[in-house]
Structure 1
Amino acid sequence: MMVSHVTTHVLDAVAGTPASGIAVTLSRRGAEGWEAVAQGLTDADGRVKDLGPERLEPGVYQVRFDTGVYFARRSVPTFYPEVEIAFEVTGDDHYHVPLLLSPFAYSTYRGS
């Protein structure tokens, strides 16, 4: 069975704006560890609208956000230089993995 692609949206919860220019990597867990599948950069709206192949095999995936570079460009100290979110692809759904970001906290949820 094949499933849908992954999208993401990053919002800077402190500034109240989209977090543009964040490097995002999608990886799949394999026998040798995490294997990169695709990379992207958040756009002016904080989105990566098409991360990876059009369709993904079932398995465990990880989205990694390079948040340290984002905050460094703004001269804002941060506790989290990167955020890694693992999730499981199981069905024929669209997988949207949003990130609400601040220098000392973050949250995520299963988006639509």
Structure 2
Amino acid sequence: MSSLSTHILDTTAGIPAAGVELTLLRSVENTVLAKGATNEDGRFSDWQLDALPPGDYCLRFDIADYLTTKYGRSFFPHVDIHFCIDEERHYHVPLLISPYGYSTYRGS
């Protein structure tokens, strides 16, 4: 059974982004599978799902409230990261954010 975790780092301040709401969707159907929010360490992994079968997924990070509160602006209201689960293993999808940019990569 595959598992999924994520974390968000505010690269402007060099701190975890706590309290950011996020949604896990099946990409093809755009079906919401689960919702949550990052903890004080900017992490989330408690999807409350039995399994993540192979397929295409999307993690949507609603970053506007966090960035607007901290910096008074957010160029991107949300970030969608599309990724594929193709084998049984743990998947970690981190997000690095700032008011005018973001970056991601396949974590471990």
Amino acid of the residue matched to residue 48 of structure 1? Answer: F
Determine which structure has the larger strand proportion and give its number: 1
Pairs within 5 Å for 1:17-96: 17-30=15-28, 33-96=29-92
Cα distance per residue 1:19-42 (max 9 Å; x no partner): 000001000124xx3000011100
Amino acid of the residue matched to residue 8 of structure 1? Answer: T
Of 4, 12, 36, 1:14 maps to: 12
Q: Which runs of 4+ in 1 moved over 6 A?
A: none
Shift of 1:52: 4.7
SS in 2 for 1:51: coil
Matched length: 108
Distance 1:71 1:29 in 2: 26
In structure 2, runs of 5+ residues without a counterpart are none
Task: Compute the RMSD of aligned alpha carbons.
Answer: 1.2
Length-normalised TM-score, structure 1: 0.90
Identical amino acids, percent of aligned pairs: 45
Amino acid of the residue matched to residue 69 of structure 1? Answer: D
- 1:108 equivalent to 2:104? Answer yes
